């Protein structure tokens, strides 16, 4: 059974899985603890990374149930964070202009703010969409 929300994209999950030994797909689907573990252990020495190839559909369904759909796209937010996080472009996209400027001028608060956003972006977008 599909949830009425379709907040996270399955093909994007698989694209991020390519970099999954760094935990990218796990962060995207709202699993920051295991994303951090994957980051520091190279996807649990690549074994967990391979297993995740089969777990991604269930992670996507779980994320669709957990997060609120709305005008701000989770996929766009995550792509902006992943590739332009140090410039704060994802924060501008969410309408957070002050912190977007702060990220832009400080390199994402010297990277600490970017790490914080990897942990909390799904919740931030869900709050904006509520």
What distance in Å separates the CA atoms of residue 43 and residue 53, rounded to the nearest whole number?
12
Confidence of residue 130 (pLDDT cuts 50, 70, 90): confident
Confidence of residue 5 (pLDDT cuts 50, 70, 90): confident
Residue whose tokens read 């709305």 = 70
Residues 49 and 97 grouped into a single domain: no
Last residue of a domain, one of 45, 66, 87: 66
Range of the domain at 125: 74-129
Residues 101 and 80 grouped into a single domain: yes
In a domain? residue 5: no
Residues 55 and 84 grouped into a single domain: no
Last residue of a domain, one of 66, 95, 114: 66
| 3-class state of residue 40 by DSSP | helix
pLDDT, residue 3, reads 53
**Positive or negative, the Cα torsion across 56, 15, 69, 126?**
positive
In a domain? residue 25: yes
pLDDT of 96 over the 70 cut: yes
pLDDT of 1 over the 60 cut: no
Last residue of a domain, one of 66, 90, 112: 66
CA distances from 104 to 52, 55, 63, 72, 108 (A): 34, 35, 29, 20, 6
87: which DSSP letter? Answer: G
């Amino acid at each position: 059974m599909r949830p009425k929300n379709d907040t996270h994209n399955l093909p994007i999950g698989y694209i991020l899985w390519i970099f999954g030994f760094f935990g990218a797909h796990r962060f995207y689907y709202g699993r920051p603890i295991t994303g951090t573990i994957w980051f520091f252990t190279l996807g649990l020495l690549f074994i967990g990374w391979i297993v995740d190839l089969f777990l991604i559909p269930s992670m996507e369904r779980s994320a669709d149930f957990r997060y609120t759909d709305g005008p701000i796209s989770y996929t766009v937010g995550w792509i902006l964070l992943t590739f332009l996080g140090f410039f704060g472009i994802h924060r501008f996209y969410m309408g957070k202009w002050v912190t977007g400027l702060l990220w832009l001028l400080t390199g994402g608060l010297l990277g600490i703010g970017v790490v914080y956003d990897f942990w909390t972006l799904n919740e931030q977008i869900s709050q904006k969409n509520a």
